[in-house]
């Protein structure tokens, strides 16, 4: 069970985030419009994750506040925001933020990201990784657009391959046959020019097709 406390200035945003996290593996401990509203009393001391929604304009002030506050160190911090500059993302990671995610993230991706940060991992959306690693992006110009893009189902299968699932497990989750899974895997390998499942996942990560 992931215990989450939500911080967002807008009541509509807080409601939306609670809706995204409506999942049997997540428990919402509470929410607040800002850290200042706690008046020295942190109500989410039992939280595994504090999920903060902020705009890019408010981001710098938020990071300064977190750096200066006596924030509970046992709670991981994940931030949802609109477009941020690479320097802002790097500053947040140096300040101890474990998750930097776009505010239009899908519910399943958000739950997976929060699960990862509670395990001690750092999660950054693929779209932000490209901005953080310009040298890697330049070096990967050989990764041009795919001649034939992956279908939505193939993207699902690729994500599950990245999670280490076997064909039978993928088939069970998607309610399809093992034969169909094998067909999708073969198609993924062909489109990505990969010789193995591991290589396909590696290429998928570099292309931003796999959410870490």
Quick: pLDDT tens for 128-146.
665 565 544 443 444 556 7
Q: Taking the complete model, does pTM exceed 0.75, yes or no?
A: no
**Whether the Cβ atoms of residue 118 and residue 49 lie closer than 8 Å to each other:** yes
Residue with tokens 């504090």: 50
pLDDT value, residue 69: 67
Q: Which of 98, 199, 108, 110 is nearest to 158 (CA)?
A: 199
Domains of the chain (ranges; CATH) run 2-136 (3.40.50.2300), 140-206 (1.10.10.10)
Judged by DSSP in three states, 209 sits in coil
Q: Count Cβ atoms below 10 Å from residue 86 Cβ, excluding itself.
A: 14
CA–CA gap between residue 17 and residue 158 (Å, rounded): 27
pLDDT value, residue 104: 84
**Whether the Cβ atoms of residue 200 and residue 188 lie closer than 8 Å to each other:** yes
Side by side, which strands form the sheet with 123-124? Answer: 26-32, 2-8, 49-54, 76-81, 99-102, 123-124
How wide is the angle at C-alpha 209 spanned by C-alphas 171 and 173, nearest 5°?
15
Residue 39, pLDDT above cutoff 80: no
Quick: pLDDT tens for 68-107.
765 655 788 999 988 777 778 888 888 888 898 888 888 9
Ranges 118-127, 137-146, 186-195: which has the least confidence: 137-146
């Amino acid at each position: 069970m992931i215990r989450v406390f939500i911080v967002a200035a807008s009541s509509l945003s807080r409601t939306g985030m609670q809706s995204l996290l409506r999942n049997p593996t997540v428990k919402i401990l509470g929410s607040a419009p800002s850290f200042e509203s706690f008046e020295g009393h942190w109500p989410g001391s039992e939280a595994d994750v504090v999920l903060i929604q902020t705009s890019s304009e408010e981001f710098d002030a938020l990071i300064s506040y977190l750096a200066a506050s006596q924030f509970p160190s046992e709670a991981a911090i994940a931030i949802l925001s609109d477009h941020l500059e690479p320097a802002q993302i790097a500053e947040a990671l140096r300040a101890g933020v474990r998750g930097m995610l776009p505010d239009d993230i899908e519910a399943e991706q958000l739950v997976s990201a929060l699960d990862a940060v509670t395990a001690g991992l750092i999660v950054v959306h693929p779209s932000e990784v490209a901005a953080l690693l310009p040298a890697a992006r330049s070096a990967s110009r050989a990764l041009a657009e795919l001649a034939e893009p992956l279908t939505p189902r193939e993207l699902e299968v690729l994500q599950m391959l990245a999670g280490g699932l076997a064909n039978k497990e993928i088939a069970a989750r998607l309610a399809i046959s093992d034969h169909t899974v094998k067909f999708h895997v073969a198609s993924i390998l062909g489109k990505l020019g990969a010789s193995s499942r591991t290589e396909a996942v590696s290429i998928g990560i570099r292309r931003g097709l796999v959410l870490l």
